[in-house]
Structure 1
Amino acid sequence: MTRFSGKSVIVTGSSNGIGRATAVLFSRYGAQVTITGRDSERLEVTKEKMLKAGALPQNINLVVANLTDPNGQDHIIQSTLKAFGKIDVLVNNAGANIFDGTLNTDQSIEIYQKTFQINFQSVVEMIKKTKEYLIKTKGEIVNVSSTVAGPQAMPMAPYYASAKAALNQYTRCVAIDLIQYGVRVNSVSPGIVESGFMSAQGFPDELQQKFLTFFASRKECIPAGVCGKPEDIAELIVFLSDRKRSSYIIGQSIVADGGSTLVAGMHAHDLHDMLGL
């Protein structure tokens, strides 16, 4: 008997990065897991990693679906119910910073609509559609937000930041609404993570590595001096999905960012050098 034996879990956006690492970790703990995304080949890679982690083939439900399409959402949910008979945990991980070449607040309304659809609206729709099943199991919901939600500004990605800020508030609202039925809702807010997030926006791998190396090497960006790994965030998601280990945490967004959000501008400078001490 392992930690999540007999538990049915949906992990959206599980074809790479944080979603893949989360699906693998749930499998290691004995869960029945629905993995889903739009790329069937990447989902097959996730499935292979889950099998290597000890998952039984019958405990993996692979669903190719577009999460922004209501029919895709229904397919994910109904396929999970058919495969496993219930839903115990919903991890709303899928998200994207949709890039059109504009790194300021001049981004188009079309980008705004697409960004909110995947990062916020799809979460609302998935929670509404799974609510009745989660109430039956007194289950858990974990939303994946981001430190870009604030309070610091993010003018190079205004719609993505705003969508994640909306997600944090929605998490709090729905947490209070659903806890009366025994369903816990929380979220995680990762900082910079080596997750392939930039590759999904169309950036080449070498540019992504340059970005990660730059931030990790500067204490005003990441005090810990290292970028996060998908597995770091997966551990936190699984912790929040475990009623025995996190039962008294309700409606919180747990930050995992290597200290990035604690840094003010003055921290980028050495006070001893500045004062000549």
Structure 2
Amino acid sequence: MTRFAGKSVIITGSSSGIGRATAVLFAKNGAQVTITGRNAEKLEATKKKLLKVVKTPDSVNVVVANLTDAQGQDQIIQSAVKKFGKIDILINNAGANVVDGTVNTDQSIDLYHKTFQINFQAVVEMVKKTKKYLIESKGEIVNVSSIAAGPQAVSMSPYYAAAKAALNQYTRCVALDLIKQGVRVNSVSPGIIATNFMGAMGVPEQAQKKIVNLFASEKGCIPAGVPGKPEDIAELIVFLSDRKRSFYIVGQSIVADGGTSLISPMESQNLEDVMELGT
């Protein structure tokens, strides 16, 4: 497929999960893909997946860099421009629920800074640094947020939730500004997705599977009855990056969560059972 033929795409956090699935899908559709992350071994695994679907290895660019570091950001951007000559699409996917063993209001200010740095500040800096290239190409930006942004509270991780909420509002503000210059900005808000997201928080793989399966089996967690797959979110990201298919969507945060964010306390309970108890 050549849906994105000649388009240069940067995907942050593409060493696994949603980022990797998005990179593969762009590559399948003919894009020139820059993948980046801190883990060289995992990035190499992503590269191998891309090489199975691309027509030429020259359409894959691998950059091992720290996105929270200004030098790392410059390295990613300049590498993409040097290899492909331009930037058409920026996917700000990298993010993490940074942990240090504390929760709720006991979370430290140091954790606050680290959480906002990767989930919000890095996005702001990448947008500012790629802006001139995206205006020149009349490009697209898709930010990856989370349903943790609200309106439901995530009391255990207030900094992560607040950072994603800030990202949603930033998306709206930047979208209104950049559309005047031909650049579209949107975001996606995934729900519970079967990735290694919890693994990065130190949760063992087996425990991750149990947690995800528990959520999927609970009516009050995922009404669809199944966790999302990275490929589900990748399809949405690619859709929002395709101006022919989504040109009139500007500044929106599209939720993909199997119905999780629709649940109210009443919906999470079987009211027929409750009424029987009352008789």
TM-score (norm 2): 0.98
Give how far 1:54 is off. Answer: 2.9
**Partner amino acid for 1:179?**
I
Runs of 4+ in 1 over 4 A off after TM superposition: none
Q: Deviations over 1:174-210 (max 9, x none)?
A: 0000000000000000000011001111211011111
Q: Residues of 2 paired with 1:275 and 1:252: CA distance?
A: 40
SS at match of 2:245: helix
Q: Residues of 1 paired with 2:214 and 2:271: CA distance?
A: 23
**Partner amino acid for 1:71?**
Q
Q: Residues of 2 paired with 1:206 and 1:28: CA distance?
A: 31
**Partner amino acid for 1:224?**
A
**Partner amino acid for 1:47?**
K
Q: Residues of 1 paired with 2:72 and 2:116: CA distance?
A: 17
Partner of 2:239: 239
> How many residues were matched structurally?
277
Partner of 1:47: 47
| Residues 154-233 of structure 1: pairs in structure 2 closer than 5 A | 154-233=154-233
Q: Residues of 2 paired with 1:234 and 1:271: CA distance?
A: 36
Give how far 1:81 is off. Answer: 0.3
**Partner amino acid for 1:93?**
N
Q: Residues of 1 paired with 2:85 and 2:253: CA distance?
A: 29
**Partner amino acid for 1:105?**
T
Q: Residues of 2 paired with 1:185 and 1:55: CA distance?
A: 29
Q: Residues of 1 paired with 2:144 and 2:62: CA distance?
A: 20
SS at match of 2:198: helix
Q: Deviations over 1:129-150 (max 9, x none)?
A: 0000000000000000000000
SS at match of 2:2: coil
Q: Residues of 2 paired with 1:40 and 1:2: CA distance?
A: 28
Q: Which moved more, 1:44-53 or 1:254-263?
A: 44-53
Q: 1:55 to 1:214 in 2, by over 3 A?
A: farther
Q: Residues of 2 paired with 1:242 and 1:260: CA distance?
A: 27
Q: Which moved more, 1:50-59 or 1:119-128?
A: 50-59
Give how far 1:100 is off. Answer: 1.1
Identity %: 70
Give how far 1:217 is off. Answer: 0.6
Is the aligned partner of 1:12 residue 2:2? no
